[in-house]
Chain A
């Protein structure tokens, strides 16, 4: 998906040259070689020193393999949200955000945060309502996490249901290679966000499925990382 924001940022990289990295890197500069020698002359990680017992070595090997497996699951393509067409100013963005609050339901005990948006700011249609969808999503994730911690099965089910509906009703996926300004041909009248076709939507679906199956780690991390 074309992203002019990232393109502009990339072109403004203050240190644009990409340092060469190779497996057979021979540590080019003298100063760097000296640094390498200085560092490796100090005591290293005791966990990597040879063990006498084979069994312990096996445990370390298994742990490293498990870590590598976890790391291998990390690669993930960019998913982004596009605003819809047409420039709108701050008051319209705030109005969208407020209207969306009547169309979305926050978990019990949660309140919509203030949404600061200066009057003269120009952005695309859907910015305010899309923000509301994302806030709603994160709050329900956190509500679910709290319900898990308290062993509240009913609240867990409720959160799962709402998130499932948000995902299938309010979150859309753009076609591959769509532009940043891609819009839904027939945008719905309710709040929604559009994501790139790169696996992000599926990842959210997986997160909720895993949490419902008793493996909430991804859900917990998502809540912790995104609430604000």
Chain B
């Protein structure tokens, strides 16, 4: 017997699904090669966990989910490329590439930790408020403020550098990816 979807849940999901384009754009901005697939998967997860999706503003939740999927894809691609690169010498990125950016900006962004990058991009590209961006990163607004503040200072300093060289070593840039020391 075919399941009859609950009408109120479907109505609620319609409001969430209205952000499909925003999620697709998010995935593209983060360098996903399958933005449509990521967006579809995010919406499928949102449907299955609809009670967890905030009704007033689902975007932070959707972006957080999209981010996890983009990162998982990037890790998978990196693993595959490492395997393929056994006979090659090319380096393999463990994070999605931010392409289509001018080299200065790209270098400056890459010099930041992944969470610092995300803090800046959620504000600059996704046009979230700091409160929304904090929710997307699952940290409180005060904590987000400090992170954003540091990220902007470092980004600015990096852009002001004549060579555009990364300011922070890769090891430091990877710290706190999961919010733990």
Residues of A in contact with B (beta carbons under 8 Å apart)? 3-6, 8-10, 12-15, 17-23, 25, 27, 32, 35-36, 39-45, 47-50, 64, 67-68, 71-72, 74-81, 83, 87, 116-118, 120-123, 127, 130-131, 134, 137-138, 180, 193, 195, 200, 203-204, 206-207, 217-218, 221-222, 224-228
The 4 closest A-B pairs by CB, nearest first: A19-B21, A25-B18, A225-B143, A76-B141
Interface residue B92 (Cβ < 8 Å from any Cβ of A): no
CB-CB under 8 A for A120 and B161, given A74-B131, A81-B149: yes
Q: Which residue of chain A is the closest to B176 with respect to CB atoms?
A: A228
B125 contact set on A, CB distance < 8 A: 9-10, 13, 15
- What distance in Å separates the Cβ of B78 from its nearest Cβ neighbour in chain A? 21
Q: Are B172 and A12 within 8 A (Cβ)?
A: no
Q: Determine the distance from Cα of A203 to Cα of B101 in the docked complex, in whole angstroms.
A: 34
Q: Determine the residue in chain A with the shortest Cβ distance to B175.
A: A228
**Which residues of B, 103-135, contact A by the 8 Å Cβ criterion?**
105, 113, 120-121, 123-125, 127, 129-132, 134-135
Contact between B22 and A116, CB atoms less than 8 A apart? no
Report the separation of the CA atoms of residues A116 and B147 in the bound assembly, to the nearest whole angstrom.
Answer: 18
Q: Is B91 at the interface (CB under 8 A from chain A)? A: no
Given A21-B22, A25-B14, A225-B147, also A130-B101 (CB < 8 A): no
Contact indicator A64/B156 (Cβ below 8 Å): no
Q: With a CB–CB cut-off of 8 A, which chain A residues contact B89?
A: none
**Total contacting residues, chain B, CB less than 8 A:** 86
- Quick one: CB contact mask for B126-170 with A, threshold 8 Å, 1 for yes? 010111101101011111111111101101111111110101110
Known contacts A47-B51, A116-B167; A9/B105 CB under 8 A? yes
15 contacts between A and B (CB under 8 A): A9-B155, A12-B102, A14-B100, A22-B18, A44-B50, A48-B50, A76-B141, A79-B148, A80-B152, A121-B161, A127-B157, A217-B140, A221-B140, A224-B143, A225-B140
**Are A14 and B176 touching (Cβ within 8 A)?**
no
Evaluate contact between B20 and A48: CB separation under 8 angstroms.
Answer: no
Contact yes or no, A44 B127, CB < 8 A: no
Closest to A31 in B: B36
> By CB atoms of chain B within 10 A, which of A18, A75, A130 has the most?
A75
Q: In the bound complex, do residue B57 and residue A76 qualify as a contact, i.e. CB atoms below 8 Å apart?
A: no
Residues from chain A with Cβ under 8 Å of B144 in the complex: 76, 225
